[in-house]
């Protein structure tokens, strides 16, 4: 790494001690920028990197709410408004027990780059709370969301900051959050949240967008590298939430065979191919556990998670799609995948591969579709939702899906072109970081010191 990058990384580490996920995300980006910084030494004088790694604003707040037993619970809420360089802050809300400042900052940082890659006018942010929605009643979820929005509302707006969903925040939560925002502000401001229900301003294909987009990106990457289409390829997908389910749906529509999916307790393997209708019923309707799949298909195999390495990556597959959470695919898992002849990895989740796993996969000629690019379809479609809200005019499913497909093809091209321009062959991980960085640094230079 060159001297400027090394200095910024060192300072970022000493200023953010113990924020391990955030430092991991920064290190990954900075490491890949060497050829760009070598070519543009003027960036140091302009403190481009120092400005890029510091969020514009971080808001932390108390979220008190009352559970069904009448007890008062206090959670901690966050909104990290990382960058408004190319548009209003934009990024999801995550409700999960392990949410902390490091995870919020890593997600916010990644979001700036991802949003830049979409080619749409959106800045980067992330938020959420250390609230675990699992096992809570609808009324508890509603009271929590109302309390969360009672503070968040003063920091967001259709031209200021537009949150959406993420882990633990789906259509139900967005509905409760939107209702409370509308009530406090006494205004219908559709563009303040995305991922809304279709009845009150949501976009067609938003629910499907991240998963479908991941497969569109994968399709381009395979084609470009002479690996043909997804037809008849075996696919394993971790998670069984929003991203995983719609990645599975599009993979099946593309002729692939999805043989395994998981949740935080364990994974199921169905050699006959996963029955996605059963998964949707278990996860979307009943909010149950993936183990319940055995009630539908007795010959499927269920394996509990034990320790760091998910058993799903031990299954032989052509394509592995980590679509659950950060650092879920470790070096040990990468080694097994490579041994079993995996062709490509598509990161549906944010930073699902550890740094060591990504390095190992790339070194062993596995194609890696990096999260910032490959899962950008969700936020891109959120931006399309914002446009529809401004126009007060709604597109059909097919129209949105077509736009999504074009955006994903363009994102792939940007990653490929940047990688080739800087002599990095088909390293799309570096390509994505470089393409986004060039756009962001140009905007930063154009807007002066701020």
Site string for ligand NDP, 230-259 (x = CB under 6 A): --------xxxxxxx---------------
Shortest distance (Å) from residue 297 CB to ligand NDP: 18
Could you give the CA distance from residue 231 to residue 227 in angstroms, rounded to a whole number?
11
Q: For residue 79, what is the enclosing H or E element?
A: strand 72-83
**Cβ-based neighbours of 339, under 8 Å, separated by 6 or more:** none
Q: What track of x and - describes contact with ligand NDP for positions 377 through 406 (by CB under 6 A)?
A: -x----------------------------
- Report the site for ligand NDP in 55-94 (rule: CB under 6 A): none
Q: Which residues contact 85 (CB under 8 A, 6 or more apart)?
A: 112, 123, 440, 443, 444, 447
CB 116 within 8 A of CB 380: no
Write down the least CB distance from residue 108 to ligand NDP, Å.
11
Residue 325 as a binder of ligand NDP (CB under 6 A): the answer is yes
Scanning 20-28, 149-157, 160-168, 179-187 for contacts with ligand NDP by CB under 6 A, the matching segment is 160-168
Task: Give residue number: closest CB to ligand NDP.
Answer: 241
Say whether residue 190 binds ligand NDP (CB under 6 A).
Answer: no
Binds ligand NDP (CB under 6 A): choice among 19, 161, 173, 263: 263
Are 2 and 38 within 8 A, CB to CB?
Answer: yes
Instruction: Let me know if 126 is a catalytic residue.
Output: yes
Let me know: does 204 contact 400? Beta carbons within 8 Å: yes
Q: Does 375 bind ligand NDP (CB under 6 A)?
A: yes
What is the distance of C-alpha 122 from the center of its chain? 15
> Whole-angstrom Cα distance, residue 141 to residue 372?
30
Q: Classify residue 168 as left (phi > 0), alpha (psi -120 to 50) or beta.
A: left
- Residues 273-312, mask of contacts with ligand NDP (x by CB under 6 A): -------------------------------------x--
348 binds ligand NDP (CB under 6 A): yes
Q: How far apart are CA 234 and CA 255, in angstroms?
A: 10
Q: Is 167 in the site for ligand NDP (CB under 6 A)?
A: yes
CA distances in angstroms from 322 to 54, 157, 181, 306, listed in the order given: 28, 32, 34, 17
Cβ density class 374-407: b for 16+ within 10 Å, e for less: bbbbbbbbbbbbbbbbeeeeebeeeebbebbbeb
Q: Which residue do the tokens 């949740």 mark? A: 263
> Which span (34-42, 196-204, 260-268, 294-302) binds ligand NDP, by CB under 6 A?
260-268
* Chosen residue from 222, 349, 395, 430 binding ligand NDP by CB under 6 A: 349
Under the criterion CB under 6 A, does residue 262 sit at the interface with ligand NDP? yes
Q: Does 328 bind ligand NDP (CB under 6 A)?
A: yes
The active-site residue out of 126, 207, 372, 403 is: 126
Enumerate binding residues for ligand NDP (CB under 6 A).
Answer: 165-168, 170, 210, 238-244, 262-265, 310, 323-325, 328, 348-350, 375, 378
* Residues that are catalytic: 126
């Amino acid at each position: 790494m060159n001297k400027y990058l090394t200095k910024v990384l060192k300072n970022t580490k000493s200023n953010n001690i113990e924020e391990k996920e955030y430092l991991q995300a920064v290190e990954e980006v900075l490491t890949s920028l060497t050829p760009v910084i070598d070519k543009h030494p003027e960036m140091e004088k302009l403190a481009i990197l120092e400005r890029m790694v510091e969020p514009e604003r971080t808001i932390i707040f108390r979220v008190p709410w009352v559970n069904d037993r009448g007890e008062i619970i206090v959670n901690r809420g966050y909104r990290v408004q990382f960058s408004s360089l190319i548009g209003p802050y934009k990024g999801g809300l995550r409700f999960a027990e392990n949410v902390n400042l490091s995870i919020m900052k890593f997600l916010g940082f990644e979001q700036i780059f991802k949003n830049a890659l979409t080619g749409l006018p959106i800045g980067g942010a992330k938020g959420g709370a250390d609230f675990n929605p699992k096992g809570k009643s609808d009324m508890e979820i509603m009271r929590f969301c109302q309390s969360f929005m009672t503070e968040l509302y003063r920091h967001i707006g259709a031209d200021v900051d537009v949150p959406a969903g993420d882990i633990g925040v789906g259509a139900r939560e967005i509905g409760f959050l939107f209702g409370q925002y509308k009530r406090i502000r006494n205004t219908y401001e559709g563009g303040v949240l995305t991922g809304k229900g279709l009845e009150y301003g949501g976009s067609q294909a938003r629910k499907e967008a991240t998963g479908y987009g991941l497969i569109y990106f994968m399709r381009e990457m395979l084609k470009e590298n002479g690996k043909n289409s997804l037809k008849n390829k075996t696919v394993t997908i971790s998670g069984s939430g929003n991203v995983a389910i719609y990645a599975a749906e599009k993979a099946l529509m593309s002729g692939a065979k999805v043989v395994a999916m998981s949740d935080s307790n364990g994974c199921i393997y169905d050699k006959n191919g996963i029955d996605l209708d059963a998964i949707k019923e278990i996860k979307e309707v009943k909010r149950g556990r993936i183990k319940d799949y055995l009630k539908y298909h007795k010959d499927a195999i269920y394996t509990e998670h034990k320790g760091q390495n998910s058993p799903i990556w031990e299954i032989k597959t052509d394509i592995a799609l980590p679509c659950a959470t950060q650092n879920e695919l470790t070096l040990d898992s990468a080694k097994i995948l490579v041994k079993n002849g995996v062709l490509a990895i598509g990161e549906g989740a944010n930073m699902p591969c550890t740094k060591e796993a990504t390095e190992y996969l790339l070194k062993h000629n596995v194609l890696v579709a990096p999260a910032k690019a490959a899962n950008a379809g969700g936020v891109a479609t959120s931006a399309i939702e914002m446009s529809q809200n401004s126009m007060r005019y709604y597109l059909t499913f097919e129209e949105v899906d077509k736009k999504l497909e074009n955006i994903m093809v363009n994102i792939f091209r940007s990653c490929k072109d940047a990688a080739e321009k800087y002599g990095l062959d088909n390293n799309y991980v570096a390509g994505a970081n470089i393409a986004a960085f060039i756009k962001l640094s140009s905007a930063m230079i154009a807007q002066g010191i701020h």
